[in-house]
Amino acid sequence: MKKVNVTLGSMNAVKDFNAIVSKYACDIDLVSGRYVVDAKSIMGIYSLDLSQPIEVQIHCDDCDDLVAELKPYIA
């Protein structure tokens, strides 16, 4: 499992982030405080406090491509 923090400050950022993570078969969760949502669920993303950095938990061993694509959002 790999963890990174991301900042999703706009609706376009949320939409683009969701499109990126949806391309991958592995499980990806977003953790904000005590809430955990599926990163592939756009409604789940909008239920979080997007004004703060959010932890992304990637549940697969080979996730270097995904992390590279998420670089614009990494806090």
Percent of the chain with pLDDT over 70: 100
pTM: predicted TM-score of the whole model, two decimal places: 0.91
- Domain CATH for 14: 3.30.1340.10
Note whether 39 and 45 are within 8 A (CB).
yes
Domain that holds residue 7: 2-73
Number of domains in the chain: 1
Structure tokens at 6: 């991301």
- Determine the Cα–Cα distance for residues 15 and 9; give it in Å rounded to an integer: 11
Residue type, 26: C
Give the pLDDT confidence of 34-54 residue by residue, as tens digits. Answer: 999 999 999 999 999 999 999
